[in-house]
C-alpha cells in the first residue's frame, strides 16, 4: 500500500489526518511564522521580505510576473513596490522591450537588508532541520524538489 492510499479517507469522508500535503503546508506556515517574527525584529515585514526575496531570485521582473510569483493581484504588488521604492529598496526601470512596462530591481540598500536577513534565515533553517543528519537533509531537499517539479508540470 502506498502512502497516498493509506492517507485516503473512506468514501464520503474528508481526510483529516496528517497527510503529506497537510504536513508540508503546516511546516511552510510555521517556517514563515518563525522567520516573520525574527525579521520583524530587524524592521522587515512579511510583505517586504517576500517581495525582496522574490526580486533577488528574478531581478528585472515586471510587476505582473512578481504578482504571479507571490500569488497576489498586480495592483497589490504595485502598492507594495510603491512603498519599497519610497523606502529606497526597489527601483523601477523602463522595460526596453515594452514601453508600457517597468522592470523591478533591488537597490544597494535592499541588498544590504537581504544580507542582514541571511543570518535570520540561516538560524531558522537550522532550527527547522535540527536532528536531521546531512544525508537526511539532502534526501529531504531532493524529495521536496521532486514534489515541486511534479506540481509545476501542467496537469
Please give the tally of structural domains in the chain: 1
Domain membership of residue 101 (yes or no) is: yes
Residue 38, Cβ density class (10 Å: 0-12 exposed, 13-18 middle, ≥19 buried): middle
| pLDDT means over runs of 10, the chain (155 residues) | 59 76 95 94 90 95 95 94 96 92 96 95 97 98 96 85
Residue 3 lies in a domain: no
pTM: 0.77
Q: Find the CATH number of the domain harbouring 68.
A: 1.10.10.10
Domain contains 90: yes
Note whether residue 116 is domain-resident.
Answer: yes
> Could you tell me the residue range of the domain that residue 74 belongs to?
46-121
pLDDT score at 154:
81
The reported pLDDT for the residue numbered 18 is 86
Are residues 152 and 144 in contact, defined by beta-carbon separation less than 8 angstroms? Answer: no
Other CB atoms within 10 A of residue 116 CB: 13
Position 131 in a domain = no
What is the DSSP secondary-structure string of 122-149? HHHHHHHHTT--HHHHHHHHHHHHHHHH
Q: Is residue 68 part of a domain?
A: yes
Q: Is residue 7 part of a domain?
A: no
The predicted structure's pLDDT at residue 68: 95
72 part of a folded domain: yes
Amino acid at each position: 500500500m502506498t502512502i497516498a492510499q493509506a492517507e485516503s479517507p473512506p468514501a464520503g469522508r474528508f481526510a483529516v489526518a496528517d497527510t503529506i500535503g497537510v504536513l508540508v503546508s503546516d511546516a511552510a506556515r510555521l517556517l514563515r511564522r518563525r522567520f516573520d517574527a525574527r525579521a520583524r525584529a530587524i524592521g522587515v515585514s512579511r510583505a517586504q521580505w517576500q517581495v525582496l526575496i522574490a526580486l533577488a531570485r528574478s531581478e528585472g521582473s515586471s510587476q505582473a510576473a512578481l504578482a504571479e510569483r507571490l500569488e497576489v493581484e498586480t495592483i497589490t504588488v504595485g502598492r507594495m513596490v510603491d512603498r519599497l521604492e519610497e523606502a529606497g529598496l526597489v527601483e523601477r526601470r523602463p522595460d526596453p522591450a515594452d514601453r508600457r512596462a517597468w522592470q523591478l530591481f533591488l537597490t544597494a540598500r535592499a541588498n544590504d537588508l537581504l544580507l542582514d536577513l541571511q543570518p535570520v534565515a540561516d538560524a531558522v533553517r537550522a532550527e527547522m532541520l535540527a536532528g536531521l543528519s546531512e544525508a537526511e537533509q539532502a534526501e529531504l531537499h531532493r524529495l521536496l524538489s521532486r514534489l515541486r517539479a511534479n506540481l509545476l508540470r501542467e496537469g
